[in-house]
């Protein structure tokens, strides 16, 4: 893990409340793998307190990208950062990462959780694997990453709860269409992840979890999740990606 000041190369809206920020990669870019996240701050004051966590959504040889939804003060401040300014970044974070084993991979993203799967999807496609992406949200307006996904060449099955785009219903329903030869990777709201876990028997399923995080590197114990075998795991340190059978949701 490195503590860095990195230059923002672009910070632009993808939708009414979702932004894409590309940062210079610095000395961490070669270390980034699908599942890793970063802790970031763009403000110098004590309010908001502490950095905020964001999944690595893409990386090139010289830069990496996050995609974030403006939900509170920290993300609102991030959206005001201009090109050329520097932000403070801890990276890479997380030891539990996605597995690329197997030939067929289903990526299930709920809302902004889709950003936690895009780096994995690009890597799997580069490796020549079969990749199916399912992206769901409450309504069409919330499918903020859709244009980006299409531009990057992903074929995407869409789900909205109100039926305003794609199939009407939950993105979890995509599990009806794949058998146990597919490895499933999911990121999104905890209710969605719980529903996927409940349908994971006989499949390899990896869940990228989110939790409120203070430190991001294992020392504050603020982000723990129960383990099926007893005890707790730190989402930031042992995770953020866990096999569905490992954790209590
Ligand atoms: C490992 C990890 C990866 C993440 N990746 C992304 C990402 O790629 N893109 C993205 O937009 N967001 C991501 N998040 C969530 C992001 O960290 C929060 O949205 C951010 O911290 C909110 O800060 P804020 O000050 O703007 O809002 P706050 O005022 O802190 O929160 C606003 C609202 O969001 C809820 N919230 C905040 N943080 C979380 C959280 N971690 N889990 C569940 N609910 C939360 C709060 O309960 C509150 O209702 C990730 C979180 C984790 C732990
Ligand atoms: S956020 Fe501090 S231990 Fe995980």
Closest residue by CA, ligand 1 atom 7: 54
The per-residue b/e assignment along 214-244, b for 16 or more CB within 10 angstroms, e otherwise, is ebbeeeeeebbbeeeeeeebbbbbbbbbbeb
Closest residue by CA, ligand 1 atom 53: 210
The separation between CA 186 and the C-alpha centre of its own chain, rounded to angstroms, equals 9
Please report, rounded to a whole number, the percentage of residues in the chain having pLDDT higher than 70. 100
Ligand whose nearest atom lies closest to the CA of 225: 2
CA distance linking residue 180 with residue 217, whole number of Å: 34
pTM over 0.75: yes
State yes or no: 187 annotated in a binding site. no
Closest residue by CA, ligand 1 atom 21: 52
**Closest to 55 measured CA to CA, from 111, 105, 127:** 111
State yes or no: 215 annotated in a binding site. yes
**In the predicted structure, residue 233 carries a pLDDT above the cut 90:** yes
Distance 203 CA to ligand 1 centre (A): 29
CA distance linking residue 29 with residue 18, whole number of Å: 23
pLDDT on residue 71: 97
Bridge partners, residue 41, by sequence = 88
Domain boundaries, the chain: 2-93, 104-208, 210-248
State yes or no: 236 annotated in a binding site. yes
Query: Quick one: fold of 2-93?
Result: Elongation Factor Tu (Ef-tu); domain 3 (2.40.30)
Query: Quick one: fold of 104-208?
Result: Rossmann fold (3.40.50)
**Strand (E) or helix (H) holding 73:** helix 73-78
pLDDT in tens, 32-90: 999 999 999 999 888 888 999 999 999 999 999 999 999 999 999 999 999 999 999 99
């Amino acid at each position: 893990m490195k503590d860095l000041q990195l230059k923002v190369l672009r910070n632009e809206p993808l939708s009414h409340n979702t932004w894409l920020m590309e940062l210079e990669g610095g000395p961490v870019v070669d270390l980034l793998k699908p599942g890793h996240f970063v802790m970031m701050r763009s403000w110098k004051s004590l309010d908001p307190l502490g950095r905020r966590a964001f999944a690595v959504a893409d990386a090139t040889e010289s830069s990496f990208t996050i995609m974030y939804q403006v939900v509170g003060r920290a993300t609102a401040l991030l959206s005001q950062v201009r090109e050329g300014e520097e932000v403070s970044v801890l990276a890479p974070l997380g030891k539990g990462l996605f597995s690329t084993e197997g030939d067929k991979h289903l990526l299930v993203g709920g809302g902004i959780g889709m950003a936690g799967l895009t780096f994995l999807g690009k890597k799997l496609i580069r490796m020549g694997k079969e990749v199916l992406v399912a992206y769901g949200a409450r309504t069409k307006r919330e499918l903020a990453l859709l244009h980006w996904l299409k531009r990057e060449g992903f074929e995407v099955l869409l789900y909205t709860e109100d039926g305003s785009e794609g199939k009407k219903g939950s993105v979890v329903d995509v599990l009806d269409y794949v058998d146990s030869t597919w490895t499933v990777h999911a990121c999104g709201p905890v209710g969605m992840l719980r529903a996927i876990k409940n349908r994971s028997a006989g499949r390899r399923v990896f869940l990228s979890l989110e939790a409120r995080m203070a430190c991001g590197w294992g020392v504050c114990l603020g982000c723990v999740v129960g383990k099926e075998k007893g005890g707790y795991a730190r989402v930031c340190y042992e995770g953020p990606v866990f096999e569905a059978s490992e954790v209590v949701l």
